[in-house]
Copies of this chain bind each other. A is one copy, B any other.
């Protein structure tokens, strides 16, 4: 059953309306969401509370790095990209913003921590009990669900519970009896904070239950502001703060007040505030903290609109209803452990990008001006190098209207960007330029080609596709960005000028092909011709003498020193030449021909999964555990995500079927350490979802989904139109991984792909599975 839940994200407030009765008839899918998955080692997910795509993502912090302005890089900071590591024994508090699964990080805004006893304002050292306000905790006393997190803070005998709406985090702290209960609001804490990110912080105590403020940081987002309003369910008796700023501005006459205690206006670079209460045994104090990218006033309006009262359980229930509705978009049949993997992947796929807009439509743009979103919801947290591959294509199927809003957000980003470029990595009204390519082009052009969201005929959110194409072209012609000038002039990016020159050349070539597809759709022949030609530039870094993509120099020669297994210093990024030499997603046939046809290509591809990668090379692969690698296939890094499906373009497609199932089995487990690499804001999860359903978008920008091997027994995709697309896999089990035959809408399928229209029109895709390959299937 399809229930539209757009209101959840545009209005933020999850109301228990007409949809509820329908939802009651739905399966309880939230039970299969285990947010704890991926919190151990390299997954970089967080266990805390969020609604789908929430601006607030409220989660515990276990960071053990002293963050008191140490100003030195600490390599351990990488562990804490999402603030929480499962192996840690202490929690330092709960903050309201997180990235899910990233390999660099930021955020961690507005840490709240309840304590009892003598006030301690230093966070303390992990392993030294009572050395600061952090508390020990145990996983035995911890629960992580969709939009709900609960933990016992052992040092204080406080039960902490968290839930959230789109823009408001709600805390419920159940205290013991004490005259010394405190709630600390730490404005110093931040994720990836080694570099003293705080630029400025401000707090105003409006009355004895309401505090507003903001923080400005310069981290991965260089010039970032975030405003808040926080309210308590019970008046505090007293309050105060400590300013840890080493050097402070003029304050000659500020001494007229004791500013540290019960003084309502607090500002500086490094501040922790606290609020004091008396509690009876078992008394719960509620805290609601709302965010805004625009103003404290907007934060307060968000707070009042989304959670007017103090019914924690109702907010949690509404959040879980919203999740259940979101998860219903794909229902599957399978073993419980498969459902846990599947729905936790669905959950992780619906955390980022994040809504970046107040309830009144205002947001801060890249130009540092306040804008009002005109007819769309504005999003940020676009990790596009990752997510253009499968996450946005997944949205295009199960929620194209939302993906259309994401496209509009990218186009607004373009309009507001000082550089006049579409986003590379959009982070809270900032561009951090992370990774290579200009892959928003893939998302925008795919949307044009598929006619989704604002580009859909009769869309409620219209947009001019010609203007969108122009944004793509302008981005792709930005000569002084990351080698584009050389790429245009030479057809490749010389590695003597650009350390990632080979990877970037290959990625630009794919993106350019996307532009050509959109131009063709819009009848822009000149643009088509320009970019279809550019899309063949991958050939210019191909060295036929060794059959590898290879670093090339400004003088046109290939660099003589070259190790195709190395990742670093070879012109590649997050993938060695072995992996990147397979990266021509838009022209597999051309690549196979370059490599000498099936006869040479298939054994080469086979060896990717069977070779033994020496440890010295593993050390260079970023972001992934040893388990995240099969041979030299590095699933934890995205450039390989289409590799398995390349078998579909050869004469031995059944090899894809077995390998897909192996990766689904080995790289995704329903355990805290279940993710073999960073989830990368949902891209790894989107790969899981597609592959478990039996198909995958090898080249977003066209309309094909290439078949693998379904890992579900059956599935129903409920589309926005109300139509359903059903998948059934007869005889599917752990050993029956090979497709024997398939039908689409009852007709035998004699090809290895299905199309976007076939899915969106609704229909039935039936697989028959078996333990041995049917080498004729698909021919």
Chain A interface residues (CB < 8 Å from chain B): 71, 104, 192, 195-197, 199-200, 202, 204-206, 214, 216, 218-220, 222-223, 247-254, 256-258, 262-265, 267-269, 295-297, 367-370, 418-419, 424-425, 432-435, 480-482
Contact = CB atoms under 8 A, between A and B. Distances in A.
A265 B267 CA distance: 27
B482 A368 contact: no
20 contacts: A104-B250, A196-B247, A199-B216, A204-B367, A204-B368, A204-B418, A206-B418, A218-B248, A219-B250, A222-B249, A222-B251, A222-B254, A223-B267, A252-B434, A264-B418, A264-B419, A265-B419, A295-B369, A295-B370, A297-B369
A298 to B, nearest CB: 9
Given A197-B249, A199-B200, A432-B250, A257 B480 contact: yes
B250 A220 contact: yes
A481 B433 contact: no
B265 A418 contact: yes
**Across the A-B interface, the 6 shortest Cβ-Cβ residue pairs:** A265-B418, A253-B433, A218-B249, A256-B482, A264-B418, A223-B267
Contacts of A297: 369-370
Contacts of A253: 424-425, 432-435
Contacts of A204: 367-368, 418
B216 A200 contact: yes
Nearest to A266: B418
B368 A104 contact: no
A214 B218 CA distance: 15
The SS class assigned to the A binding surface is loop
Contacts of A295: 369-370
A252 B434 CA distance: 8
Contacts of A220: 249-250
A367 B211 CA distance: 12
Nearest to A300: B369
A247 B70 CA distance: 12
A559 B214 CA distance: 46
Given A195-B249, A196-B247, A435-B253, A418 B205 contact: yes
Contacts of A222: 249-251, 254, 267
A256 B267 CA distance: 35
B257 A368 contact: no
Given A195-B250, A197-B249, A368-B202, A256 B223 contact: no
Given A250-B104, A296-B368, A368-B214, A200 B197 contact: no
A481 B367 contact: no
Nearest to A367: B204
A200 to B, nearest CB: 5
Contacts of A200: 199-200, 216, 218, 223
A143 to B, nearest CB: 34
A223 B250 contact: no
Given A219-B249, A262-B480, A295-B369, 17 more contacts: A71-B247, A104-B252, A192-B250, A204-B418, A218-B249, A218-B268, A219-B250, A220-B249, A222-B250, A222-B251, A222-B254, A223-B267, A253-B435, A257-B481, A265-B418, A296-B367, A297-B370
A197 to B, nearest CB: 6
A369 B206 CA distance: 13
A239 to B, nearest CB: 13
A651 B250 CA distance: 47
Contacts of A433: 253-254, 256-257
Contacts of A223: 200, 202, 267
A258 B434 contact: no
Nearest to A201: B223
A131 B424 CA distance: 42
Nearest to A369: B297
A516 to B, nearest CB: 24
Contacts of A216: 199-200, 216
Nearest to A420: B264
Nearest to A106: B250
Contacts of A368: 202, 204, 214, 296
Among A202, A253, A425, chain B packs the most CB atoms within 10 A around the CB of: A253
A382 to B, nearest CB: 14
Contact of A199 (B199, B254, B367, B370): B199
Given A223-B202, A418-B264, A247 B195 contact: yes
A218 B216 CA distance: 14
Contact of A369 (B247, B296, B367, B418): B296
A205 B204 CA distance: 34
Contacts of A206: 418
A2 B222 CA distance: 54
Contacts of A424: 253
Nearest to A224: B249
Nearest to A370: B295
A412 B253 CA distance: 22
A671 B199 CA distance: 45
A195 to B, nearest CB: 6
Nearest to A199: B200
A372 to B, nearest CB: 12
Contacts of A482: 256-257
Contacts of A296: 367-369
Contacts of A262: 480
Among A257, A265, A424, A482, chain B packs the most CB atoms within 10 A around the CB of: A265
Among A192, A247, A368, A425, chain B packs the most CB atoms within 10 A around the CB of: A368
Nearest to A498: B256
A367 B197 CA distance: 24
A222 B192 CA distance: 27
Contacts of A251: 222
A297 B197 CA distance: 27
Contacts of A418: 204-206, 264-265
A267 B268 CA distance: 19
A519 to B, nearest CB: 25
Contacts of A202: 223, 368
Nearest to A484: B256
Contacts of A254: 222, 432-433
A594 B90 CA distance: 69
A262 B479 CA distance: 13
Nearest to A203: B418
Contacts of A250: 104, 192, 195, 219-220, 222, 432
Given A219-B250, A223-B202, A481 B256 contact: yes
A205 to B, nearest CB: 7
A432 B265 CA distance: 12
A174 B368 CA distance: 34
A204 B296 CA distance: 25
A432 B256 CA distance: 11
A258 B216 CA distance: 25
Contacts of A435: 253
